Amino acid sequence: MITGIIIFGCPTRIIIRSGYGDLYGIAALFGMFIGIWNGTVVLKQIVKRSSI
């Protein structure tokens, strides 16, 4: 939550800040990847359950 407030949640800004080696940018980029991965896993489970 705190990192999201510091970065302001803009994906373009996260990529630019992580490209400069900013610690908050790298943490936010990692968090964004984890969130995308988690969302994909959840959606796959929902589709798998509804197709049975």
pLDDT at 26 over 90: no
Domains contained in the chain, number = 1
Radius of gyration of the chain (CA): 14
The residue type at 32: M
pLDDT at 2 over 80: no
**Going by C-beta distance under 8 Å and a sequence separation of 6 or more, which residues neighbour residue 33?**
none
Do 26 and 40 touch, CB atoms closer than 8 A? Answer: no
The SS3 of residue 10 is coil
Domain of residue 26 covers 2-50
- What does the mean pLDDT of the chain come to? 83
pTM: 0.68
Do 24 and 17 touch, CB atoms closer than 8 A? Answer: yes
pLDDT at 33 over 70: yes
